[in-house]
Structure 1
Amino acid sequence: MKSIVVIAAILINGSCFAQTNNCHDMSRRFFSDRLPEVREFFRKSGRFRLDRVNVSPGFDCGDTADFLFEAKPEFNNPGFHWIVELTKSTGKMVIIDGI
């Protein structure tokens, strides 16, 4: 139940952020084109096993794009969600850990 509240808070805050910073939902095409490299980056980070996470598109904010990683329900605990932020111009990625 806690994870549902945390995810809802992220989505609500993300939605407000998106509206104030010209962000919009990531396109399915961009998501599928970049997903392999983002998954590989996450795998190399050693945060969590890829077979135990769901990945979904986040927001596209022009210069950056966010990919949402969340542990599957059977492995989920508080904090088992991450955002991989991709800087489009450089391809640089960073992982933002969940709370």
Structure 2
Amino acid sequence: MKDPEKMEPGLQLIIKTAKDGAKTVKRIQDFARQRRDHDFQPVSVDQLMLDVREITRPRWKSRPESEGVHIALELQLGSDEARVMGDESE
């Protein structure tokens, strides 16, 4: 080691970054644990798309149109068999 004092800031940064990473991993693990307790059911992808369209309509349609901007959202549905595991209310 040539000059330990010059290395100190870099080492402190490495330690801080490692601690921040550990906190991020813990938050992800906590989130994943919450999800495990949930009873997921098959949810129709087509229905999800229809629901999302309606829930987000004010953002992509009403607001822009009030400013003279017109956005068309076209869904290509028809995959009645397509399902994902989830909670419809979420």
TM superposition score normalised by structure 2:
0.29
If each structure's strand is expressed as a fraction of its own residues, which one has the higher value?
1
Question: Which structure has the bigger radius of gyration?
Answer: 2
- The higher-RCO structure (CA 8 Å, 6+ apart) is 2
Normalised to the residue count of structure 1, the TM-score between the two structures is 0.27
